[in-house]
Amino acid sequence: MKIYPYVDKSRANKDGSFPVYFIVSTKQGRFFVNTGITTCDKLVGMSFPQSDANWKRKTVLLGKYFADMTSLCLERDIAGMSNKELKERIQREVFGVKPKDSVNALAGVVRAFAATKREQTRKIYENTARKVEVFLDGKTVKHSTLDGIDKEWLDSFSRWCQENGMSVNGIGKELRNVRAVFNWARQKGMTQNYPFMGYRIKQEETAPNNISAEDLRMLRNYPCETWQKPYVDFFFLSFFLAGINPVDLLSLRREDYKDGHISFVRTKTNKEGATVIRTVTLPVVTEAQEIIDRYPSRDGWLVGFMDCRNDYRSFTRQANDALQKVGPSWKVRDKVGKLRKMEYAPICGGITLYSARYSFGSIAANDLDISEQTIGQCLGHSWSKHVTARYIAHDQKRVDNAVRKVVEYVVGNATGKP
């Protein structure tokens, strides 16, 4: 077991200081213990910088905490403790912090719910838990538990989020996260309270980030720079495959491609607790095949963009940056007066990889009059929740024809509405 101090510079306090923690590293992992001390700069070993007010007193206090924690961790009865139990004991016996009533505390329940999710989703709910904790700071215990939360609490939380600069849709996202936690908690028998009964979460409609067929043709034919070409190709491969999500496209293996079609389960819908898992099948048109052949994979992927990568998100960030720089560019002087900074006039302002999905759906509906049901099947959406839909056989030919029609229209081999 190791114990060492750590200055968290990720977020400064209002006075510009940074909180000092102890990191306790065990065989189970590590956890942080807040010392309640702050500093204006990094520590030198266990000593505070002399620029700190009361730096000598802080150094002595930190040393005392370290000695008390070390002594506690040498006791025999801590051997079988979990990290959570050990942390609570350190907080109680060394720092005199009474454990909160976490059995039913909202932030704790949000974290418990987050632990049941995959990595990216877990991070989203952990962020919600942090917001709830900050909002609840100073509130009574009653108003921090599942049973004590009501519509007035939800309104108060919404106002707090707004005052802290969050958008209407951002607030709605946090409230939906809290609602999901309540649904889960009720299923687990943790509470019978449900403050969302009849509660309306506000939502602001956003304009689809789609690109017109004309601009897509311009983008496809533009002589972009060599480093941008793979990202432009990937964008159009996604578009030619009915706007398939980047995570799904990058997850496709060679064996998912058979008889001129790719088959996959959308990552978005293939989650724990999903009651219906739908397989999406899409045709690989000639234009898509050309791009697939251009980027072979050494590691068994359908395309080689994920070779030597562990996370698709780094690729999507790089792709979005590259796409937003496709267009005329020129050098300008930087802050020190040297002519080396690049400025860009993008062909498609605000374009992202997800624009391929919006664009496919919009062009199919508005330019080609393809039915909403068929577009939904191309995108992997459930086109109906009515029981009748269970008795209707899915016609793959409709999807194949729709995809070919959209691709041919955009690449210039077909016309739109008659």
Q: pLDDT (tens digit, 9 = 90+) per residue, 321-374?
A: 999 999 999 999 888 888 888 899 998 988 999 999 999 999 999 999 999 999
pLDDT band (50, 70, 90) for residue 311: confident
Residues 225 and 357 in one domain: yes
The CA distance from 124 to 180, in Å, is 12
Q: What is the pLDDT of residue 414?
A: 47
Domain boundary among 59, 93, 127: 93
Answer yes or no: is 192 within a domain.
no
Residues 140 and 262 in one domain: no
Cβ 319 vs Cβ 231: under 8 Å = yes
Answer yes or no: is 99 within a domain.
no
Q: What is the pLDDT of residue 80?
A: 75
Average pLDDT over the chain, rounded to an integer: 86
Q: Which residue has the higher pLDDT, 287 or 145?
A: 287
Residues 76 and 178 in one domain: no
Answer yes or no: is 208 within a domain.
no
Digit-coded pLDDT (tens) for 11-27:
788 888 999 999 999 88
Q: What is the pLDDT of residue 103?
A: 46
Residues 87 and 112 in one domain: no
| C-beta atoms surrounding 172 within 10 Å | 17
Residues 157 and 262 in one domain: no
Domain boundary among 93, 126, 156: 93
Answer yes or no: is 320 within a domain.
yes
Answer yes or no: is 416 within a domain.
no
Domain boundary among 70, 93, 116: 93
Residues 395 and 279 in one domain: yes
Does the predicted model carry a pTM greater than 0.75?
Answer: no
Answer yes or no: is 356 within a domain.
yes
Cβ 244 vs Cβ 238: under 8 Å = yes
Q: What is the pLDDT of residue 141?
A: 45
Average pLDDT over residues 389-402: 75
Q: Which residue has the higher pLDDT, 100 or 88?
A: 88
Residues 254 and 378 in one domain: yes
What domain count does the chain have?
3
Closest CA to 88 of 274, 65, 78: 78
Look up the CATH number of the domain holding residue 227: 1.10.443
Residues 293 and 387 in one domain: yes
Q: What is the pLDDT of residue 382?
A: 67
pLDDT band (50, 70, 90) for residue 413: low
Residues 239 and 125 in one domain: no
Answer yes or no: is 100 within a domain.
no
Residues 265 and 376 in one domain: yes
Most confidently modeled range among 92-101, 137-146, 158-167: 158-167
Digit-coded pLDDT (tens) for 34-69:
999 999 988 988 999 999 989 999 999 999 999 999
Digit-coded pLDDT (tens) for 261-298:
999 998 877 665 555 677 899 999 999 999 999 999 99
Average pLDDT over residues 103-132: 86
Residues 72 and 170 in one domain: no
Structure tokens given for 418: 């008659």
Q: 183 is in which domain, residue-wise?
A: 106-187
Residues 290 and 366 in one domain: yes
Structure tokens given for 10: 């990720």
Digit-coded pLDDT (tens) for 381-395:
865 555 445 545 567
Answer yes or no: is 34 within a domain.
yes
Q: What is the pLDDT of residue 117?
A: 87
Structure tokens given for 410: 């955009």
Digit-coded pLDDT (tens) for 199-255:
999 988 776 678 999 999 999 999 999 999 999 999 999 999 999 999 999 999 999
